[in-house]
Amino acid sequence: MGIKLIDDSGTEHPVVARTEDEFLALLRTIRAWSGHTGGQIAAFGGLPRSTVYWLVSPRNTSLPRRREQVVAFLRGCRVSDRLFEKVLDIWASLARYPNCDQCDWPSLCETTLEIAKENQALRRENAELRARLSPRSGAPMS
C-alpha cells in the first residue's frame, strides 16, 4: 500500500517519482497540498525564499543537489514522518551522489580533504623554516 496525498477536492496523488521531472512535480504537489506559501515554507524550513520558489518552479529542471534542501523543504511543508522518509528515499534513488551533502562529486570531496591536510602540513613546515631562517630580533644581519 503506497503513500498518497489527497488534495482538497479528494483527488489522490500517489507519492512516486521515477524521473527528475516526476520528482519536481511531486515537490510542487506537496507544496500545493501543504497549503503554505513559499514564504511560509521558507520560514518553517529555514530555507531562503528564493530556494523554495526555485524548487517548485516549472522552469526548474534539476533535482535539489543537497539532501538538506529536500529535508528543509519537507519540514517547511510540515509533512508527516512517513511522507518525509518516502520523499527522501525517492530523492536518494534519483540523485547522482545521495551520500554527499556537500557537492555533486563525493570523490572530489575526499580529494579536497586530502589536499587540505597536505596543504596544512606544508604551511606548518614553511612557517617552521621561515622561523629558523629569519633574523632574530637583535641578531646582526649578514
Instruction: State in Å, rounded, how far the first CA of the chain is from the last one.
Output: 85
Q: Residue 70 and residue 30: Cα distance in Å, rounded?
A: 12
62 grid coordinates: 534539476
Q: What pLDDT score was predicted for residue 12?
A: 65
CATH architecture of the domain covering 4-94: Orthogonal Bundle (1.10)
pLDDT tens across 49-82, in order? 999 999 999 999 989 988 999 999 999 999 988 8
Q: What pLDDT score was predicted for residue 107?
A: 47
C-alpha to C-alpha distances, 115 to 57, 111, 120, 122, 123, nearest whole angstrom: 38, 6, 8, 10, 12
User: What residues does each domain of the chain span?
Assistant: 4-94, 102-134
pLDDT tens across 22-45, in order? 999 999 999 998 999 999 999 999
What is the CB-side half-sphere exposure of residue 17 using CA atoms within 13 A?
Answer: 24
pTM, whole model, 2 decimals?
A: 0.62
69 grid coordinates: 534542501
